[in-house]
Amino acid sequence: MNKLVRIIYILLLAISCVFTLLFYAGGTEVDGLTPIFTSEFLVWGYILAALGVVVALIFPIFQMIKNPKGAKMSLFAVIALVVIFAVSYLFAPGTPVHFTGAGMDKFNVPSLLKNVDTGIIATYIFLGIAFITMIYTEVIKIFR
């Protein structure tokens, strides 16, 4: 299995190197700005992104099957994330912003603003947890 993964890594690296060479040496369209292989670059990027998502979703499942005790801790972490985002959503006002600007009305929608506010509040909560954790670990080192 380890040898197969290594071969896949080398194959992906080789294909990416070919695309890099095509990018720098492939030339441009008639306009002189757009590279000739633009669509192929985008497709390769989509393939790599999809592969990354699949690997990121499948391997944790294998780890949970191999180590059920670790699965319990992972489940607690997922529940904590859901709770933090739920609290952030409850605190997010989503009130429309009053500003002037051409074409900005399409972004001044309460549902979109509520989602953005949720992300901002969740970021503040995560930053607070990170700072508290840093302070706690430094203080606990003093007493050990």
**Residue 130: its H or E element:** helix 110-142
- Cα separation, 94 vs 115, in Å, equals 8
User: What per-residue confidence (pLDDT) applies to 17?
Assistant: 93
Q: Report which DSSP code applies to 67.
A: -
**65 Cβ contact partners less than 8 Å away, ≥ 6 residues apart:** none
User: What per-residue confidence (pLDDT) applies to 1?
Assistant: 65
**Amino acid in position 123:** T
- pTM to 2 decimal places: 0.59
Task: With H, G, I as helix, E, B as strand and everything else as coil, classify residue 50.
Answer: helix
Mean pLDDT, the chain cut into blocks of 10 residues (144 residues total):
88 92 77 76 92 88 82 85 96 84 77 93 97 96 89
**126 Cβ contact partners less than 8 Å away, ≥ 6 residues apart:** 84
- Cα separation, 113 vs 117, in Å, equals 6
- Residue 101 CA, chain-centre distance (Å), reads 31
